[in-house]
Amino acid sequence: MNITVKRLGRVAYEPTFQAMQDFTATRTAETPDELWIVEHPPVYTLGQAGKPEHILRDVGIPIVKIDRGGQVTYHGPGQVLIYLLLDLSRLKIKVRELVTAIEQAVIDLLAEHGVTAERRDGAPGVYVADAKVAALGLRIRNGCSYHGVSLNVDMDMTPFAAINPCGYPGLQVTQTRDLNIPLTTDEAGEQLSQHLLQQLDRQNG
């Protein structure tokens, strides 16, 4: 399985979103799959069916409407995102299997550090007790995926209070630092990317 891992560092959201769309639009049957590990300056992203009323108040953070599924979420420094630019047809992975693989990668990463996490029916993402630690949203175009998963690592959590995270009023959010997992954002990105590769390999196998 030929997947290139790219570490893009802290990059602005909108050009990265455009780059994902361009990559997917121009890829061919021979284009290698890629994982992009990134961090973003503060931004709210609103999914395709996203309802503006889930943004509760203006706290001066830009809002970008995008083409993934799901409602509103927050990205900011101290959160790692991994974008999965995959040819699902070639990998012979269905969308539901990809979502399960992404969630399992986060669950396995947390388990390595002694934290029990779980998925929830009908609410994609990964939860520790009642708090969401990772969010995911995907877009599939011509059998290829983009967007991906965000894991809260060591960030200012206050911007989540200005939204209904993922469209759920009162949804609690947490981060690995508050779960006593001593990872930097870079370390979390490296470990999560390895777990994602393992899961994709397993699905593909």
Name the binding residues for substrate.
Answer: 68-75, 135-137, 148-150
Among 88, 105, 155, 166, the active-site one is 166
Q: Is 144 a catalytic residue?
A: no
pLDDT at 202: 87
pTM of the model: 0.96
pLDDT at 2: 86
pLDDT at residue 183 in the model: 97
Phi, psi of 149 (to 5 degrees): -130, 140
Domain-wise residue ranges, the chain: 3-204
Task: State the pLDDT at residue 70.
Answer: 86
Regions in the chain scoring below 50 on pLDDT: none
- Binding site, annotated residues: 68-75, 135-137, 148-150
pLDDT at 203: 79
Q: Compute CA distances 123 → 12, 112, 135, 158, whole Å.
A: 27, 24, 9, 22
For the segment 90-112, what is each residue's pLDDT rounded down to a tens digit?
999 999 999 999 999 999 999 99
Return the CATH number of the domain spanning residue range 3-204. 3.30.930.10
- Name the packing angle between helices 185-204 and 95-112 (round to 10°): 130
Residue 58: the pLDDT is 94
